Amino acid sequence: MSQTITREDLRQRVADLLAEHDPATTERLDFLRARYDAGLAWVFFPEGHGGLGLPREWQRDVERQLAGAGAPDNQPRRIGIGLGMAAPTILAYGTPEQKERFLRPLWTGEEVWCQLFSEPGAGSDLAGLATRAVPDGDGWVVNGQKVWTSSAHTARFAILVARTDPDAPKHRGLTYFLCDMTDPGVEVRPLRQITGEAEFNEVFLTDVRIPDSQRLGAVGEGWKVANATLNNERVAIGGAAMPREGGMVGKVAEAWREHPELRTHDLHQRLLRGWVEAEVARVSGMRLRQKLAIGQPGPEGSAMKLTFARLAQQLSGLEIELLGEDGLRYSDWTMVRPDHVDFTGRDAGYRYLRAKGNSIEGGTSEILKNIVAERVLGLPGEHRTDKDVPWKETVR
């Protein structure tokens, strides 16, 4: 961490950026590139990689100052997978060349990222995945199928876990790669959801060649690298900064205030319980981000994501009840392929249906309960009969 830059110095750096690149006259992408090069993209990253090695919480000062000047942002919801999962993993395990190549266009949004982890036969049990990566010259040839891949239809790159040693136990035979989604052999097909849209996809990999220079971490250490990604993912989903009465609870409170004729004592009590739980989750998220400021995310992120999913489903259901007959309406069933997820967007019917996926994406609630039980509460782990068995001998 830098010991020479003060908060006042940081404010001056932002002022200098604005003076040299007036947001009113500078092209959006040029401004974002200049911001990254000035170390103001994520100030808690190292110098040379969009940061200044400063405390994480100082980033809020930068955002407020830039927003007040009308500066453009990098559309974080559109590139959330890159920002929340790919970037911290590349920073932790990438080579200097990989950091130099990928982090800048990732942050500016020039290159969108997706996540090729889950498979039809390996969702909750991710370590059981079957996609194979076979050495070939100075690279790898990958074959397999991935599923539930958000943003695959807009992504340029993907973080990919594949099996490189079928003779090793399932957790030890995996390797982590950075896959170019425009390469031959990558096929993306939409998966239409209960909401009508197709934000998810299935991805087929047929003889896809990945150079060894796009391997992240050591061969066989893919599970270790993937766990870093998953910890960051759960924090990104469940631990995002939220104002009081923000998110789903804000929508429910708004419906309560706008429809006094539909209020009942039972609905009032449920709203109060939901509001209190949402506030507890918000404050817990603040504590989690304070911990992030001094280290890497731990299993506590799983608890936050678990809470987020439960509250989103309970509150969206309560909103439907509050709206009565209006809650049964669904405005648009058009098949679209959005470029980002909006958990509280559109109408109440959409929010209710979309929330059903919250307990699956980013780790199923059942698996997250196990993680919290074993890694946070210290309870005995479940008996795993295939832990030391070669993957090729396991029942699938």
Rounded-to-integer distance, Cα 310 and Cα 387, Å: 30
SS3 at position 201: strand
- Rounded distance, CA 347 to CA 327, Å? 9
Closest CA to 21 of 10, 11, 31, 29: 31
Three-state DSSP class for residue 315: helix
Torsion sign across C-alpha atoms 264, 265, 268, 269: negative
Q: What does the block give as tokens for 78?
A: 């559109």
| DSSP code of residue 313 | H
- Beta-strand relationship, 174-180 and 113-116: unpaired
**Residue (of 230, 149, 166) closest to 396 by Cα position:** 166
Secondary structure (3-state) at 128: helix
Give the residue among 278, 258, 395 at the shortest CA–CA distance from 323: 258
* Rg, Å, the chain Cα set: 22
Q: Are 117 and 161 in contact (CB under 8 A)?
A: yes
d(CA 222, CA 164): 9
Q: Which of 119, 233, 300, 319 is catalytic?
A: 233
Write out the two tokens for 147: 């599923």
233 in catalytic set: yes
What tokens appear for 101 in the block? 């190549």
Residue type at 306?
A: L
291 φ/ψ angles, rounded to the nearest 5 degrees: -70, -40
The Cβ of residue 96 has, within 10 Å, a number of other Cβ atoms equal to 9
- Judge whether 311 and 275 are in contact, CB under 8 Å: no
| Residue 12, CB-side half-sphere exposure with 13 Å CA sphere | 5
SS (H, E, C) 358-372: HHCCCCCHHHHHHHH
Strands 139-146 and 157-163: unpaired
Q: Which residues are catalytic?
A: 233
